[in-house]
A = this chain, B = another copy of it.
Amino acid sequence: MTAETQELKDVGLKITHPRIKIMRILLTSEVRHVSAEDVYRLLLGNNEEVGLATVYRVLTQFESAGLVTRHHFEGGHSVFELSPEHHHDHIVCIKCGHVEEFADPDIEARQSEIAKRLGFELTDHDLNMYGICADCR
């Protein structure tokens, strides 16, 4: 059993060709953060036939199953990544689109405190920084 099918089985999703192919793209892509279009193009590049609508459906299912995490960066389209073992946030280069990840326990702790103080039961959060990376300066 390959890694892709194992992942699918683990979350109780039926093992289908499109789901296997899409999971393989996510597992092997050099770029960790991809849009639905990116996945679709990568599939085409591998001569894999999967409809764009299916890519959207499958990514959404993967998200519901917790396999992938959806982000809302600036620019109007969703970006997906395999759900990280450990939570992290992002800094995105506005010139080249390069994404760096980071995790900061202090920030996380402060966030929880703030949510509690404001009376919110926190379900999710998204900290995105935008700037110009070293290579683009």
Q: Which A residues contact B (CB, under 8 angstroms)?
A: 72-74, 76, 91, 93-94, 100, 102, 104, 106-107, 110-111, 114-115, 118-134, 137
Q: Are B107 and A119 in contact (CB under 8 A)?
A: no
Copies of this chain assembled into the complex: 2
Which residues of chain B are within 8 angstroms of A126 by Cβ–Cβ distance? 74, 126-130
Q: Are A91 and B120 in contact (CB under 8 A)?
A: yes
What is the CB-to-nearest-CB distance from A104 to chain B, in angstroms, rounded to a whole number? 5
Per the bound structure, the CA–CA distance linking A53 and B106 in Å amounts to: 43
Q: Are A130 and B134 in contact (CB under 8 A)?
A: no
Residue of B at shortest CB range from A130? B124
Which residues of chain B are within 8 angstroms of A130 by Cβ–Cβ distance? 122-126
